[in-house]
Amino acid sequence: MATEKEIVVSGIRPTGYLHLGNYFGAIRNYIRMQEDFNCYFFVADWHSLTTHPDPKDLPGNVMRVLAENIASGLDPEKVSLYVQSDIPEIAELYLLMNTLAYVGELERVPTFKDKVRLQPQNVNAGLLTYPVLMSVDILIQRAVKVPVGKDQGQHLEMARNFAQRFNHRYGNLFPEPEAFNYGDSLVRIASLDGEGKMSKSENEMATLYLADEDDMIIAKLKKAKSDSGSGEPGSPIPETVQNLLDLMKLVSTPDVVSFYEEAWKNTGNIRFGDLKKQLGEDMVKFISPIRERAKDLQRDTDYLKKIMKAGAEKARANAAQTLQQAKKLIGINYY
């Protein structure tokens, strides 16, 4: 008899454009997971409302995120792709879980403190209870594994806490989800300006987006921060040089990477104009098929809506069972 696959849940906000860091830090893992697990991947449109996106932009942003994920390799036949707001059961469980969340712990969450600092004029209740909704996204499907980066570790720990609190107070229902990334080290894609990691919004010229046109990709890499190109043979590789070599390892052939690594090792010198030209060509070969496929998908809105509805039907069926059991354990079952 076939063994039931373990459930995996992950979501992405429909704000900004997906970039190289999203692909190698998350989507590449999703593509592998879809073969091994029962995957629920969603667009977190309710989460995006905390920053008050323009209503005219939101539908297009949702469609673009779906298209870019499919174009990157997610198979709608193998995973449930849906939009958060199509699952009203999430909102009801969110209400119930808020009674198990405490203001003090929510105020101590580092991401909430950051939001208060960055947007003091918009400290809304949705920002404060963001970790509760994020936890419910996971718990409503009774996921056991969640692919998360290091910066989301505390949110996952809170999901585990909420599962424990509910199970202790009302009865065992929710598994305690664990972080999962196949045991590989998480890929962190450095910003092209050498300042932190690539971001959807921080510095557009320092980030390679999956929607970038070929000439934009080449232009960004030409301006990428590098070294003077001269050093002593065998000297440590400067961080800015290593960042470029790390990008090469993702999209170039091993012999190309080896050529430039050996050049630095043997002479302490790299012709960065040549390196960036080669990297630009290889990056174009990698990004352009994803970009063009995503464009085609975005033009076929009927297909994307079909995918959304099919994913929502499966996600709702599972969520409804979870919510019904939760309400029964709480005592909200009067008929």
Q: Catalytic residue at 305?
A: no
Rounded-to-integer distance, Cα 87 and Cα 196, Å:
35
Q: Give the H or E element holding residue 11.
A: strand 7-12
**Minimal CA–CA distance to 84: which of 130, 148, 26, 27?**
130
Q: Catalytic residue at 200?
A: yes
Helix residue spans in the chain (DSSP H): 20-22, 28-36, 45-48, 58-72, 88-98, 103-107, 110-118, 125-128, 130-139, 153-170, 214-222, 239-251, 254-267, 272-299, 301-330
Residue 32: is it exposed, middle or buried by C-beta count within 10 angstroms (0-12/13-18/19+)? middle
Listing DSSP states for 81-115 in one string gives EEEGGG-HHHHHHHHHHHTT--HHHHHT-HHHHHH
Q: Which of 200, 222, 225, 327 is flagged as catalytic?
A: 200
Q: Which of 5, 78, 113, 115 is flagged as catalytic?
A: 115
Partners of 41 in beta bridges: 10, 81
Q: Which of 56, 113, 145, 197 is flagged as catalytic?
A: 197
- Active-site residue numbers? 115, 197, 200
